[in-house]
Amino acid sequence: MTPQPTITLADLVQRFEPELLQRYATRLLPSQLRALAAFKRCRTEFAQRMLAECGACGQQRSMPHSCGHRSCPHCQHHDSERWIQNQLQAQVPATYFMITRAVPAQLRALVWTHQRVVYELLMQCACGLSPDSNSPEDCLCLTRARGLWPRAP
C-alpha cells in the first residue's frame, strides 16, 4: 500500500487563503495576516534554506527553514509542550475557576478592534467577581490565566 502524502499547514493555507481573504479580509487583524504569510512559507520551497549535515556519515542536504511563528503547530509543538509543563508545575495551591460571558452583538466590533484593552478590562472585572478576592494578590490564578490568551505576536 502506498503511503498517503502528508498535508501540511502550508498546503492548507495555499489552498484556502484566497477564499478566506475574499470573505474576511476586512475583519482579519494584521497579526493574523502575518501569521498566514508565515504559515504559507513554512518548510516549503519558498522558505530560506539551510545546509544540514549528518553527524554520522557526513552527508549534506539542503533543507527549508521553519517559519518560527509562535502560532505555527509545526514550529512550536515542542515549545508549546514545554510551556504547558512549566505552567502545570507553576500552579499555586488555590481554587481555580473560569468565568465565561458572551459579548453582546452590539459590542463585538469594538471588542474585535480593541482586543488587548478589552481583555485587560475583563480580567480586572473577573478578579473583582472572585468570592475569595480581597486584593489583586488574591487573584494570582486569574492574572496567570491571562497569559493563555494573547499567544500570537
Average pLDDT over residues 65-74: 83
Maximum separation of any 2 CA atoms in the chain, in Å? 64
Say what percent of the chain tops pLDDT 90.
Answer: 20
Q: Domain tally for the chain?
A: 2
Cell of 130: 472572585
148 and 84 within one domain = no
Q: How far is 41 from 75, CA to CA, in rounded Å?
A: 12
Residue 80 — very low, low, confident or very high, per pLDDT cuts 50/70/90?
confident
**Segment 100-143, tens digit of pLDDT:** 667 788 888 888 888 888 888 877 776 665 555 555 555 544 44
Region of 135 on the Ramachandran plot (φ > 0 left; ψ -120 to 50 alpha; else beta): beta
97 and 77 within one domain = no
107 and 72 within one domain = no
Q: What is the dihedral of CA 144, 145, 150, 153, to 10 degrees?
A: 40
Cell of 50: 539551510
152 and 86 within one domain = no
Q: Which domain range does residue 125 map to?
A: 92-153
Cα–Cα distance list, 88 to 28, 79, 83, 128 (Å): 32, 14, 9, 25
Where a domain ends, among 44, 62, 90? 90
- Label residue 10 exposed, middle or buried (CB < 10 Å: 0-12, 13-18, 19+): buried
**Segment 24-58, tens digit of pLDDT:** 999 999 999 999 999 998 888 887 888 888 989 99
84 and 102 within one domain = no
33 and 76 within one domain = yes
Where a domain ends, among 38, 68, 90? 90
151 and 80 within one domain = no
99 and 75 within one domain = no
Q: How far is 107 from 92, CA to CA, in rounded Å?
A: 34
Average pLDDT over residues 44-73: 86
79 and 100 within one domain = no
pTM reported for the whole predicted model = 0.51
77 and 60 within one domain = yes
Residue carrying the nine cell digits 484593552: 117
pLDDT confidence of residue 142: 44
120 and 65 within one domain = no
Q: How far is 124 from 118, CA to CA, in rounded Å?
A: 10
97 and 76 within one domain = no
Residue 71 clears pLDDT 70, i.e. is over it: yes
